[in-house]
Amino acid sequence: MKLVVGLGNPGAQYAETRHNIGWMVLDRLADRAGKSGRGRQRDSAETVELRWKGMEITLAKPLTYMNDSGVAVQKLMMRGHVPLTDVLVIADDFALPFGKLRFRESGSHGGHNGLRSIIDVLGTEKYARLRVGIGQPGRGAIDHVLSRFAADERTRLPILLDACADAAEAWVREGTSKASNRFNSFELQAPGAADGATVGVPQPAPGEVGGPADGAGIRRTKTGWRKLLPGGDNDGGGRQ
């Protein structure tokens, strides 16, 4: 079984903040699988169970608050007998530009309290993580990670969440090394602006890279994968 953990904080005051982008990615994955709103609480986390292309996958949002994320991760691993090699943690990173993705097979917490907790509880840095850039703070770090995305960022957020979901699916299929080869070079484009397009330049056609969804609700992203937007058919399955 694969365990994909998105880090975040429970509570309406934290919903859709930069620090909760890990939860937002899991919501996108659940949407794709037709499992939106079907989570259940266990092992100090909200979980969704998926079967995707013959693989068992658990999506998990720790409910322990960011600083104790490791408690939930350990419980989930013990219940499912999940080895570290089958765990992916998705977390925000303000050291990366907004929209940049970075896979790592191991490494330090980099000041992220959720990653720090996982390392402390598991006693190792050797677990895969997908860091999602939320942009560098122009103010205090805590205020930044707990803030919501700016208007221009929100217009690009759906594209970013699609790319993150693609990256997680690639990790499930191929592992960290191959997924990182593709997604660590990902460049986030503005909606309707592919490969440097600017205002006044005709937008790509529906269904093409950077363009709107086509009549079937399908959009192609810069990663080359075809996507079904929420509602379409699918084939599967603190820093404080």
Q: Please give the average per-residue pLDDT across 203-226, as a whole number.
A: 55
| Cα(132)–Cα(161) distance, integer angstroms | 10
Please check whether residue 3 is in contact with residue 82, taking contact to mean a CB–CB distance below 8 angstroms. yes
Please check whether residue 122 is in contact with residue 70, taking contact to mean a CB–CB distance below 8 angstroms. yes
Domain membership flag for residue 237: no
Domain membership flag for residue 200: no
Domain membership flag for residue 168: yes
Which is catalytic among the residues 19, 81, 109, 144? 19
Whether the predicted pLDDT of 13 surpasses 80:
yes
| φ, ψ dihedrals at 93, nearest 5° | -150, 115
What's the pLDDT at 37?
78
Instruction: Supply the CATH number for residue 42's domain.
Output: 3.40.50.1470
CA–CA distances in Å: residue 131 to residues 7, 37, 179, 189: 10, 25, 13, 18
Q: How many domains does the chain have?
A: 1
- Domain residues for the domain of 166 are 2-189
Write the pLDDT tens digit of every residue in 24-51.
999 999 999 998 877 899 999 999 999 8
Question: Which segments of 48-150 does DSSP mark as H helices, in order?
Answer: 69-80, 113-122, 141-145
Would residue 19 show up in a list of annotated catalytic residues for this protein? yes
Domain membership flag for residue 105: yes
Domain membership flag for residue 66: yes
Write the pLDDT tens digit of every residue in 72-111.
999 999 999 999 999 999 999 999 999 999 999 999 998 8
* Per-residue pLDDT band at 19 (split at 50, 70, 90): very high
